[in-house]
Amino acid sequence: MIHSSAIIHPAAEIDADCEIGAFCVIGEHVKMGPRNRLHSHVVIDGHTTIGEENEIFPFTAVGTRTQDLKWKGGTTWTHVGDRNTIRENVTIHSATGDGDATVIGSDNSLLSYVHIAHDVTLGSHIIMSNVATLAGHVEVEDNVVISGLAAVHQFCRIGRFAIIGGCSKVVQDVPPFMLADGNPARSKTVNKIGLERNGFSDDAQQALKKAYKILFRSGLSTGNAIEQLERDFMDCPEVSLLAKFMRASQRGVA
C-alpha cells in the first residue's frame, strides 16, 4: 500500500497496514501505527509518532522543525493520537526545547490550512475550522470548537466544550463551556448548543448560566466571583471545573 513515488527513510517504522500515497516523504525518526492513510504529497518528519487510523490529506506537514527563533537544537517530539482527520495544507510543528513535545490527541478534525505551532497540547474530539491558528504553548482541552480564521495567542488555554467564533483574536484564556467571540475575544454566553449536543443535563446547563452571570455580569472581582461559585455550586461538577479553570489562569480570562 505504498506508492512507488513515495520517499521513506529506511529507518522509519511504518506499520504494514498503512497506505502511503504518491510523492509522500517520511523521515528517519517517524513511527506510524496501523491503518493510517496518507494521501499524496504528505510530509512527516522529525521525531514523530503517529497512532492508528489517522487520515492525512495532501500538502500537510507534520513534525517539521519549530519556527520559534529560540530553537537551539536537540531532540524535540511530535505525538499524534488515533483517528484524526487532518485536511489539506495543515501544519503541525515540533516542540522547541530539547525533550519537549507537541501533542495531538485523538478523534480530532483539523480542516484545511490549520496551523498548530510548537509545544501545543491539543486534546481530543476537537474541531478546528479552516485557517484556525494556535500559537506556541497553547493548551486546548477536549470537545472544543475553534471556528475559521480564529487565532489564539501563545500560552493561552481553551477550556473543554468551549467554542471560539470565526475570525476571533484570542489573547486570554477561554473558560470551559463558554462561547467566546470578537477582537479581542470575550466570553459572550454559555455554549448552549454545544452543551445540548453533548448531553449535559438541564440542571447542569442552568447552573452554568447562573455561574456565567456571577463571573461576567455581577460586577464582582474575579476572585470574589470564583469564591461565590465554589460556595454556591459545590454539588455541580461542571461549575466546579469552571471555577478550577479560572483559578489556574495565568493570562487572565477572556
Catalytic residues: 118-119, 136
Q: What whole-number distance in Å separates Cα of residue 98 and Cα of residue 47? A: 11
Give me 249's grid cell: 489562569
Question: What 3-state DSSP class applies to 247?
Answer: helix
Cα dihedral: 89, 95, 99, 100 (round 10): -110
Please name which of 121, 102, 62 lies closest in space to residue 86, comparing C-alpha atoms: 62
Quote the CA–CA distance of 34 and 15 in Å, as a whole number. Answer: 5
The CA R_g of the chain, rounded to the nearest whole Å, is 20
* Three-state DSSP state, 222: helix
